[in-house]
Amino acid sequence: MSFLANGARYGLADQQRLLGNSAVVTGTFLRSDALSGVPTIEATYTATMPETAPGNLAGSEQELAGVSDTGFPPVDDFPPTVDFFVSFDDGRVIVEDFGDPGSLDPVTEASVADNIRVVDGYSNRLLALYIWLGLVLTVFPTIAITLSVRRRRAAR
């Protein structure tokens, strides 16, 4: 069960990494390209980076890849706009996630604080669960065995 707590902590660390270094931008369909080797078509969108982006990325137009379709034959029907959650690293734009317009939220101080509360709450619940399981699996059976032995001895 500790893998749940570790996963939550990893997600929180990832959000802290993205705080102040990411944005949600809306991309407009630019073109679709067939990828070689497999019947996949990938859509490319163009998006304007926010003014808060570092360095030369501020206000620049970037081409972002995201939505793709694989099939026989692949369908070349992509949504006209897509939201992209992007991060900035050494002058590069990295697509972290994409989705329908309005479906993505930026990482803010408030969202990180909420996730810290959630991780702490789940960690405390997990600790209580471990203690409860320890009681159920060790103490309670020991008490039950002791009482049943005493009852048998008293009945003799």
Residues 6 or more apart from 14 whose CB is under 8 A from it? none
Looking at the fold, whether 101 and 26 belong to one and the same domain comes out as yes
Cis ω before 74 (30° cut-off from 0)? no
The verdict on pTM exceeding 0.75 is no
Q: What is the pLDDT of residue 134?
A: 87
Q: In what order do the strands lie in the sheet with 81-89?
A: 61-70, 40-48, 22-35, 81-89, 92-99
pLDDT tens digits, 24-55: 999 999 988 877 667 778 889 999 999 988 88
Looking at the fold, whether 68 and 94 belong to one and the same domain comes out as yes
Residue 144 φ/ψ region, left for φ over 0, alpha for ψ in the -120 to 50 degree band, beta for the rest: alpha
Looking at the fold, whether 87 and 141 belong to one and the same domain comes out as no
Q: Sorting pLDDT into bands at 50, 70 and 90, what band is 82?
A: very high
> Which of 83, 105, 127 is a domain's end point?
105
Looking at the fold, whether 47 and 7 belong to one and the same domain comes out as no
pLDDT tens digits, 134-149: 888 888 888 889 988 8
Tokens matching residue 96? 């972290």
Q: What is the pLDDT of residue 31?
A: 87
pLDDT tens digits, 3-16: 555 666 677 788 88
Confidence check: pLDDT of 84 > 90: yes
Number of independent structural domains in the chain:
2
Looking at the fold, whether 65 and 41 belong to one and the same domain comes out as yes
Q: What gap in Å lies between CA 26 and CA 7, rounded to an integer?
A: 29
Looking at the fold, whether 10 and 29 belong to one and the same domain comes out as no
Q: What gap in Å lies between CA 15 and CA 118, rounded to an integer?
A: 13
Determine the structural domain holding residue 93 and report its residue range: 21-105
Confidence check: pLDDT of 122 > 90: no
Looking at the fold, whether 25 and 66 belong to one and the same domain comes out as yes
Looking at the fold, whether 113 and 154 belong to one and the same domain comes out as yes
Looking at the fold, whether 76 and 92 belong to one and the same domain comes out as yes
Confidence check: pLDDT of 21 > 60: yes
Amino acid in position 25? V
Tokens matching residue 57? 């990325």
